[in-house]
Chains A and B, each alone.
Chain A
Amino acid sequence: MQISDILQTMDYGKAPEDSTIVADWLARHENGFGHFIDGAFTDPGETFEVQNPATAEVIAHVTQGSEADVGTAIAAARAAQPGWAALSGHERARHLYALARHVQQHARFLAVLETIDNGKPIRESRDIDIPLVARHLYHHAGWAELVEDELPGTQPYGVCAQVVPWNFPLLMLAWKVAPALAAGNTVVLKPAEYTPLSALAFAEIARECGLPKGVLNIVTGDGATGAALVGHEGVDKVAFTGSTDVGKTIRKQIAGSGKGLTLELGGKSPFVVFDDADLDAAVEGVVDAIWFNQGQVCCAGARVLVAEGVEDAFTAKLRARMDKLIVGDPLDKNTDMGAIVHPVQLERIKSLMAQGAAENVEITQGTAPEGCFYPPTIVTNVQPASILSTEEIFGPVVTVTPFRTPSDAVALANNTRYGLAASIWSENVNLCLDIAGQVKAGVIWINCTNVFDAGAGFGGYRESGFGREGGREGMQAYRTTPAKQGRDRTLPALTATPQDSGPQGLDRTAKLFIGGKQTRPDGGYVYGVEGKNGPVGLAGLGNRKDIRNAVEAASKASSWGGTTGHNRAQILYYLAENLSARAAEFADRLTSFGQSTQRAEAEVETAIRRTFWYAAQADKFDGAVHATKSSHVTLAMNEPLGVMGLVCPTDAPLLGFISLVMPALAMGNRVVAVPSQVHPLSATDLYQVIETSDVPAGVVNIVTGSRDDLATTLAQHDGVDGMWYVGSAGAMVEAESAGNLKQTWVEGDGARDWTSPEGQGRAFLHRATQVKNIWVPYGV
């Protein structure tokens, strides 16, 4: 083509990235890849094909990991773990620095390989994925150096099973491997079957760096391999990034195993544009949100919510911008959108779009070449009920829905079972921060989107999972505190019929406490409570409907989380003082259960002090401002989980209750508490204390009855956001929690001495909160 011709059109022309070095590497491995176990590559076993989605060309054969392969890898990781953890933090840091440096040195090789394997544009793999991989490794090399100082009293889990998705293959590997290794764990990681190659290349880099053998093991394969890995009894901690459905399966699969678990799952993130936004900036934001990585991004801003007054102007700008996108060869430097990762995923997108089209939405599309490509797509006239608004499409499809007011925008934003991320666009920072506080999501980007840094936590609320990756909160997900085993104990059967004799002394009627009122149990039954010398009273026999009512009351009391820490502290202090004023009465109650007077008085005293301690923490368990990118404030805010179900220890009937309820309240949660089944009356005696202490109605709800029946209902309730359970049915709680992926904390009775310092501390506060990272760029 002549210069004079080009001057007429001023086209960009082709700008292909040279891929010969990667082609040579693939050719050297044409006999297939084995796993990377114990510092060496195994011979290829039974293999499957890996394709370049842009060309449909088979580029490699990779081994399908068997259960035996998984076992071998876990054994290698197990053998290496004590030595790895015994290294000084400094020594581990040097290994991680080496990995980071070598990733940087091999950056272009990794970028080209990732693009060929995944189909993402070379611009993204080169400018975003691989630089973030290096940054993550550098950041966590620092954590290796500091972890003993910064997270005292914690220890590594041991062997981590990690399963990563195909959308950011190497970046997700780095997010998993870097903190795990920094914390002193060893790793068996399974890359996605569509995109295993960069993980294998990373294994070669680890070998080049001299990472000790067995510390990092890569096993390739499909979902069955992943299931074998996370389910293996030799694993101490499971970390998964992928779909919500698989996340729920894993939650159920490992329930009761005692394994640590973090899940980073799907999303349908809102992208809220107010009428005072810089609309051109917001349009570019949509490009970065949904037309980044072909929309195959868990935190993609897939639901544009736009102020109705600017909807037409915004949509017109967005359509004009979409027309400028170049879709095609991922290896061309001018390509904005490359190939969809696999024909199966393309079919999924097409199928969802076909269902959406049947709902009379309006669809505008750009162009895309033949093959495994999908055009950038805008869907308007789409209602919240549309399948395109509710389902994660994981493709380059954005919906546009108008809202009327800020509260309408918040309601629409939160009208989802997910809670991974949100973008908020307005030049009024008052408005932005107000909305940021109200949206239920783990990452909030103000006037930006898809901004990442290793120094900030990333992870979701609700069914987008739990646990964070990046920053201090991410490191905490790879360190544990030594936990003693509790014991399984069969509780005495409940007797709901009249007792042989009545209680001596004062006979109070212990009802339930729901929505600030003492209420009779729905079923109309009571059960007998035994003391050391026979029956000491009757307690309400709560049932499913009582739990339902209690959760409903707790849900309505949402203003508790918005009040200041100071206010919550004042109320908890007041409660402690009122408890103190009646200390003798509570001690008598404990004595009636068979405790010595001395022990009873000590338990009451500790309960009072513990309440003070959590009151004091209410306005001090702050978040942080993370050091991330220049001209960005990144706020890590500790937010309450919401409604928490607390199933209290059997022992220490007063103190056990206080030990669970107070940290939850101090952090702004509303609670539905199930007191000790055997000795519920210490908790029911608290009704009057609570009523006289200005605790708002619905903040504390107490349902007595069969511990595990009530726990089952709580675990199955989708309106419960978090659950702590002490008892012998922890496996049930963890399995049932998968319904809405509520966060759980379970242990057996007797695992800790509630009267000792281990019954109190910041660990409880961490468990009662989730971190929301809010990114606020600034500058004029």
Chain B
Amino acid sequence: MVMSHADPHHTRNPGMPLDPAMFDRVRVNKQASERRAAGFGARRSVKKTHQAAWLVNAIRLIDLTTLSGDDTPGKVRRLCAKARAPVAPRIADVLGIADMGLTVGAVCVYPTMVPHAVEALQGSNIPVASVATGFPAGLMPLDLRLREVEWAVAQGAAEIDIVITREHALLGNWQALYDEISAMRDACGAAHMKVILATGELETLTNVYAASMVAMQAGADFIKTSTGKEGVNATLPVSLTMVRALRDFGEATGHRIGFKPAGGIKSAKEALAWQVLMKEELGRDWLNPDLFRFGASSMLGDIERQLEHHATGRYAAAHRHAMS
């Protein structure tokens, strides 16, 4: 069995004109969001074989990421090798998943690393995602940011993770935010666009909701929490807010938008909590990689350890697994 990466019938979000009425009366209650978010871990429990399956599923959802100043072609090749074979064969055999063609959802790198990743992933069907638009702060002239997107796409990136100008969201300048993201969407062309809101810097959930809605109106295929470089990265309450925004957008327009929490998600337990959130709030379809990704670099290692424990009944050590 080979798991496909995307639903072939999934159509892209064409966007729509800016419509503040879809968000400007929405106020998100923080305490209630936190209470609900805490419930995903407490109300739902996935054990034994089901837990193994949910962790395998999480691997399909990972945008395996390296976004460091010291990235080199060699480091990227190592990452790509792990992306192709995320679970050691000795574990996959015991779990009965050796023939399912399990890979991560994508590999995510800086623009200059895109050609190396594309080369290393040839023949794998694993898409390369590139951050762009002056990642992580985005404070570059717009024309340069658009050229960066075009460049990354030309190098073979199939997905572009753009960052928004936080200033526009913080000042409530939604038209400027909309125009900017629309231009980036055009620059992406056929590449899918993930819009990083840098929620840690937007601070309030009400702002997060509004920025999510503007991003989707401007044509985002995915909305994504964080660059991984803000002081606060992906949290469950922020994710809940964004997920409810994309649900509301879908109800209003009929378009299905993807969600990507990123930054600081390191453990197998967190992989379960976020999947529970998606299933409870949106349903089964949002546990597929065309609608849900984790931005993570170290989570895969923890998942592999848990899967080995499931396969052998013995607790595993990280140094026995191939590093990325």
* A interface: dominant SS: loop
- Whether B43 pairs with A281 at a CB distance below 8 angstroms is no
> Does A490 sit at the interface, judged by CB under 8 A?
no
CA distance A9 to B279 in the complex (A): 11
Stretch from A10-18, A81-89, A106-114 contacting the other chain: A10-18
Stretch from A164-172, A457-465, A772-780 contacting the other chain: A772-780
- Whether B29 pairs with A281 at a CB distance below 8 angstroms is yes
Which residues of A have CB within 8 Å of B52?
3
> Does A430 sit at the interface, judged by CB under 8 A?
no
- Whether A336 pairs with B43 at a CB distance below 8 angstroms is yes
- Whether B53 pairs with A3 at a CB distance below 8 angstroms is yes
- Whether B32 pairs with A12 at a CB distance below 8 angstroms is no
Chain B residues within 8 Å of chain A by Cβ, number: 43
Which residues of A have CB within 8 Å of B42?
123, 127
> Does A385 sit at the interface, judged by CB under 8 A?
no
- Within the complex, the shortest CB–CB distance from A629 to chain B, in Å, comes to 10
- Whether A15 pairs with B97 at a CB distance below 8 angstroms is no
Which of B47, B48, B56, B284 counts the most chain A CB atoms within 10 A?
A: B47
Which residues of A have CB within 8 Å of B3?
7
- Whether B31 pairs with A631 at a CB distance below 8 angstroms is yes
> Does A101 sit at the interface, judged by CB under 8 A?
no
- Whether B44 pairs with A4 at a CB distance below 8 angstroms is no
- Within the complex, the shortest CB–CB distance from A557 to chain B, in Å, comes to 38
Chain A residue at minimal CB-CB distance from B60: A7
> Does B13 sit at the interface, judged by CB under 8 A?
no
A780/B32 contact (C-beta < 8 A), A10-B57, A15-B47 known: no
> Does A1 sit at the interface, judged by CB under 8 A?
yes
What sequence of 0s and 1s flags, for each residue 32-68 of chain B, a beta carbon within 8 Å of any chain A beta carbon? 1111100100111111111011101100000000000
Which of B32, B49, B204 has a CB less than 8 Å from the CB of A278?
B32
A333/B45 contact (C-beta < 8 A), A4-B96, A4-B97 known: yes
> Does B203 sit at the interface, judged by CB under 8 A?
yes
> Does A64 sit at the interface, judged by CB under 8 A?
no
Which residues of A have CB within 8 Å of B269?
none
> Does B27 sit at the interface, judged by CB under 8 A?
yes
- Whether A3 pairs with B95 at a CB distance below 8 angstroms is yes
A12/B27 contact (C-beta < 8 A), A3-B95, A280-B244 known: no
> Does B1 sit at the interface, judged by CB under 8 A?
yes
CA distance A708 to B57 in the complex (A): 78
- Within the complex, the shortest CB–CB distance from B51 to chain A, in Å, comes to 8
Which residues of B have CB within 8 Å of A288?
35
- Whether B32 pairs with A13 at a CB distance below 8 angstroms is no
CA distance A11 to B283 in the complex (A): 11
Which residues of B have CB within 8 Å of A631?
31
> Does B314 sit at the interface, judged by CB under 8 A?
no
Which of B29, B44, B100 has a CB less than 8 Å from the CB of A12?
B44
- Within the complex, the shortest CB–CB distance from A320 to chain B, in Å, comes to 10
- Within the complex, the shortest CB–CB distance from A328 to chain B, in Å, comes to 14
> Does B323 sit at the interface, judged by CB under 8 A?
no
Which of B31, B96, B284 has a CB less than 8 Å from the CB of A9?
B284
> Does B90 sit at the interface, judged by CB under 8 A?
no
- Within the complex, the shortest CB–CB distance from A331 to chain B, in Å, comes to 12
Chain B 14-40 residues near chain A, CB threshold 8 A = 25-36, 39
CA distance A755 to B205 in the complex (A): 61
> Does B131 sit at the interface, judged by CB under 8 A?
no
CA distance A401 to B47 in the complex (A): 41
- Within the complex, the shortest CB–CB distance from B310 to chain A, in Å, comes to 9
- Whether A780 pairs with B56 at a CB distance below 8 angstroms is no
Chain A residues within 8 Å of chain B by Cβ, number: 36
Chain B residue at minimal CB-CB distance from A284: B36
CA distance A288 to B31 in the complex (A): 14
- Whether B27 pairs with A276 at a CB distance below 8 angstroms is yes
- Whether A12 pairs with B284 at a CB distance below 8 angstroms is no
- Whether A11 pairs with B50 at a CB distance below 8 angstroms is yes
Which residues of B have CB within 8 Å of A284?
32, 35-36, 39
A10/B54 contact (C-beta < 8 A), A276-B27, A427-B29, A778-B31 known: yes
- Whether A7 pairs with B50 at a CB distance below 8 angstroms is no
Which residues of A have CB within 8 Å of B96?
2-4
A13/B50 contact (C-beta < 8 A), A7-B3, A278-B27, A447-B32 known: yes
- Whether A13 pairs with B46 at a CB distance below 8 angstroms is yes
- Whether A6 pairs with B43 at a CB distance below 8 angstroms is no
- Whether B56 pairs with A3 at a CB distance below 8 angstroms is yes
> Does A443 sit at the interface, judged by CB under 8 A?
no
Which of A2, A13, A448, A778 has a CB less than 8 Å from the CB of B47?
A13
Which residues of B have CB within 8 Å of A14?
47
Chain B 265-284 residues near chain A, CB threshold 8 A = 275, 279-280, 284
CA distance A276 to B52 in the complex (A): 42
Chain A residue at minimal CB-CB distance from B97: A3
- Within the complex, the shortest CB–CB distance from A16 to chain B, in Å, comes to 8
- Whether A447 pairs with B31 at a CB distance below 8 angstroms is yes
- Whether B43 pairs with A334 at a CB distance below 8 angstroms is yes
Which residues of B have CB within 8 Å of A7?
3, 53, 56-57
Chain B residue at minimal CB-CB distance from A16: B47
> Does B133 sit at the interface, judged by CB under 8 A?
no
CA distance A278 to B100 in the complex (A): 43
- Whether B36 pairs with A12 at a CB distance below 8 angstroms is no
CA distance A7 to B35 in the complex (A): 29
Which residues of A have CB within 8 Å of B56?
3, 7
- Whether A12 pairs with B45 at a CB distance below 8 angstroms is yes
- Within the complex, the shortest CB–CB distance from A602 to chain B, in Å, comes to 57
Which residues of B have CB within 8 Å of A542?
none
CA distance A670 to B99 in the complex (A): 81
CA distance A285 to B31 in the complex (A): 11
CA distance A12 to B275 in the complex (A): 11
Which residues of B have CB within 8 Å of A1?
49-50
> Does A324 sit at the interface, judged by CB under 8 A?
yes
Which of A10, A284, A288, A448 counts the most chain B CB atoms within 10 A?
A: A10
- Whether B1 pairs with A278 at a CB distance below 8 angstroms is no
CA distance A298 to B43 in the complex (A): 23
Which residues of B have CB within 8 Å of A427?
27, 29
Which residues of B have CB within 8 Å of A4?
1, 96-97, 100
> Does B103 sit at the interface, judged by CB under 8 A?
no
CA distance A620 to B43 in the complex (A): 46
Which of A324, A447, A780 has a CB less than 8 Å from the CB of B205?
A780
What sequence of 0s and 1s flags, for each residue 272-286 of chain A, a beta carbon within 8 Å of any chain B beta carbon? 000010101110110
Which of B30, B48, B57, B244 has a CB less than 8 Å from the CB of A779?
B30
Which residues of A have CB within 8 Å of B95?
3
- Whether B284 pairs with A10 at a CB distance below 8 angstroms is yes
CA distance A699 to B257 in the complex (A): 62
- Within the complex, the shortest CB–CB distance from A701 to chain B, in Å, comes to 45
Which residues of A have CB within 8 Å of B233?
none
- Within the complex, the shortest CB–CB distance from A351 to chain B, in Å, comes to 31
Chain B residue at minimal CB-CB distance from A5: B53
- Within the complex, the shortest CB–CB distance from B92 to chain A, in Å, comes to 10
- Within the complex, the shortest CB–CB distance from A123 to chain B, in Å, comes to 6
Which residues of A have CB within 8 Å of B54?
6, 10
What sequence of 0s and 1s flags, for each residue 306-317 of chain B, a beta carbon within 8 Å of any chain A beta carbon? 000000000000
Chain B residue at minimal CB-CB distance from A780: B204
Chain A 26-85 residues near chain B, CB threshold 8 A = none
> Does B199 sit at the interface, judged by CB under 8 A?
no
CA distance A390 to B249 in the complex (A): 39
- Whether A12 pairs with B46 at a CB distance below 8 angstroms is yes
Which residues of B have CB within 8 Å of A13?
46-50
Chain B 87-102 residues near chain A, CB threshold 8 A = 95-97, 100
Residues of A within 8 A of B (CB): 1-4, 6-7, 9-15, 123, 127, 276, 278, 280-282, 284-285, 288, 324, 333-334, 336, 427, 447-448, 631-632, 777-780
A-B contact pairs, 21 of them (CB 8 A): A3-B52, A3-B95, A3-B97, A4-B1, A6-B49, A7-B3, A7-B57, A10-B54, A10-B284, A13-B46, A123-B43, A278-B28, A278-B32, A281-B28, A281-B29, A284-B35, A285-B32, A324-B280, A333-B44, A334-B43, A631-B31
| 10 additional A-B residue pairs with CB within 8 Å, beyond A336-B43, A777-B32 | A13-B46, A14-B47, A281-B36, A284-B36, A284-B39, A333-B44, A333-B45, A427-B29, A448-B31, A780-B205
